[in-house]
Structure 1
């Protein structure tokens, strides 16, 4: 089994955090969001994931590439890096991992985190992961027949046809067939809304005899913006077991309200932390109250009350009660005498 993860998008809605760190590597509950995805898919695959291909932007940088390869290694797989130089759609993105598109494959878009007990039936031609949504107009959806096979792929339907939204994870028994159909879209410049769409390739496969079924998840977690990312951090802390406070952490005259994630070498002095707080390695909190927030590595918070906030790496904040959203290497503190 091979896992292909398209993740070349720039993450504009998550700025300022994505100005210095690719969105899939932003930590959620102590681990990069793409690592959660890899771990969850490995857990539901009957057979071992042998290779993981990451499709990234050309400007991600060497450090990001090394981090991704280590995520694959820690999952017991061989990591491979592919590049998407232009944002030309989901089919174009997957096609960038052409050498991996053979045999049994899973394609999972990097910001697709989910909850649910799903096991992959590798005997199926194809499986589309879905969730029931209240308003399907904003999503691509599938329509099923009485035997639960997909009859139609519909992109953002104006009228109700189905409430089964496609969440961005796909299993194919024969990746070469998908590769052929995606290449056909590109070769013939068959675009929809200016892009080569993966669902169009799947539709062509269906018309030629491939039978798709669905796997329904209980919860679909989004990391599209700050508010959604904080909610996902909360749900991950609630549903995934958290490690004990590391021995390297220094906690003095402080209250920790679980669930929280506390990284290595964190200092928490005269503070209240939690619930739903993730603190990266080497961060220091002094005389502060923090809840529902993500504070990344090497940062500091002093004399502050913050909630529903995100701080990047090596960011420093001192001062009042606020809802903050500051990126890497930022410094916010009161002026002298105020």
Structure 2
């Protein structure tokens, strides 16, 4: 079995972060989302991986390399435009050959990995295996309609009038039969070759399509709220560890990871929290479910339930919460003072905000 990982796309829902960074490389607990997917694939015993890349290909290649860090052999497949998931299968034909394969969306996150899913496929070997989970907003997803016995009847991509609340999770497993399906379908109204249409072709042509309800936790990390939620979930699983320098005036509460090279002085850190290498935290409060990437500087500030990317500086800020702050951002006080602030800041931003410290 092979794996096809989709890492193209423009990441419009995470702008402005993704104006300058691949959405699959936005970190959760200081590790890019894509890396969790690659680890899941390796854990399932799959070693031959094709990664479909687009305009952010340079970043993806730099981050993943040849895949050896994950025990994988990686082949990069260029998709000139984001023309749909089925189009990605179409252009990966030479790489995939006639092998069974897992298709994994690189910005998706599944707690517990895909080992049980792969084993189930290998035991039954349908032409397609799809994963389903109930969602509150099915209009935003591919949606499956099942009969009373759980058989797949119909699939639609982002329907205006969903027939169910069963959304397709961003992991699929196929036999080579899907290559016929992706050649037979036509572009949708969005101008894309939809994988839902390809699976519908398999259903209509009496192929075996198996639907599996997902028992673990799944998120499409395409927006800020989901990124923060996944970050919270991952931080809850980390054991903590204090490798950096922490002075006697600082207080560490709960599971906190302080990387080697980080320095904390006069501050209170309440976990779960992860603090990257080269971070300096001075006279500040870092609250639960916060990830601070390497080389950040936090001074006289309060931060909680947030993700701060590499090289950012936050000084004199009364309160930041539920925020995603990009790389090399500077946040400083200005004269007025609402007590809490919510941000989605792009890379290299420069912001003045109100603060009691101003």
* Paired residues for 1:326-337 under 5 Å: 326-333=345-352
Task: Say which of 319, 343, 351 aligns to 1:324.
Answer: 343
Matches of 1:3 and 1:96, distance apart in 2: 14
Aligned to 1:177: 177
8 Å contact from structure 1 (residues 17, 328) kept in 2: yes
C-alpha displacement of 1:136 = 3.5
Q: Alignment length, in residue pairs?
A: 325
- Report whether the alignment pairs 1:20 with 2:15: no
Aligned match of 1:220? 218
Structure 1 residue 68: Cα displacement: 2.6
Q: Which segments of structure 1 move beyond 6 Å, counting only runs of 4 or more?
A: none
Deviates more, 1:100-109 or 1:143-152: 143-152
1:257 Cα deviation after fit: 0.9
Counterparts of 1:156 and 1:62, CA distance in 2: 30
Gapped regions of structure 1 (runs ≥ 5): none
Instruction: Give CA deviations for 1:140-184 in whole Å, capped at 9, x if unaligned.
Output: 222335654423324455666433211221012x2x321232123
Counterpart pick for 2:91 among 91, 96, 102: 96
269, 272, 278: which one aligns with 2:285: 272
Match of 1:315 in 2: 329
What is the distance in 2 between the residues matched to 1:225 and 1:160?
21
Residues in 1 aligned to 2:239 and 2:177: alpha-carbon distance in whole angstroms: 39
Name which of structure 1's ranges 19-28 and 230-239 shifts more when overlaid on structure 2. 230-239
The Cα of 1:137 is off from its aligned counterpart by 4.3
Structure number with higher relative contact order (C-alpha < 8 Å, ≥ 6 residues apart): 1
Q: Which aligned pairs between 1:137-176 and structure 2 lie closer than 5 A?
A: 137-145=139-147, 148-156=150-158, 161-172=163-174, 174=175, 176=176
Aligned CA distance change for structure 1 residues 250 and 158 (closer, same or farther; 3 Å): closer
* Cα 1:322/1:145, change in 2 over 3 Å: closer
- Aligned partner of 1:196 among 184, 193, 208: 193
Q: How does 1:1-338 map to 2 (within 5 A)?
A: 1-43=1-43, 45=44, 48-57=45-54, 59-69=55-65, 72-101=67-96, 102-115=98-111, 119=116, 120=118, 121=120, 122-123=122-123, 124-125=125-126, 126-145=128-147, 148-156=150-158, 161-172=163-174, 174=175, 176-185=176-185, 190-193=186-189, 194-217=191-214, 218-239=216-237, 241=239, 244-304=257-317, 305-319=319-333, 322-333=341-352
Cα distance between partner residues in 2 of 1:276 and 1:145: 41
Q: Distance in 1 between matches of 2:228 and 2:17?
A: 13
Looking at structure 2, the residues matched to 77 and 269 of structure 1 have their Cα atoms a distance apart, in angstroms, of 41
In structure 2, the gaps of 5 or more residues are 242-256, 335-339
Contact 1:6 1:94 in 2 (8 A): no
Shift of 1:117: 7.1
Alignment RMSD: 2.4
- Cα distance in structure 2, aligned partners of 1:141 and 1:294: 31
> Post-superposition shift, 1:26?
0.8
Describe the SS at the equivalent of 2:65: helix
- With the length of structure 2 as denominator, give the TM-score of the two structures: 0.82
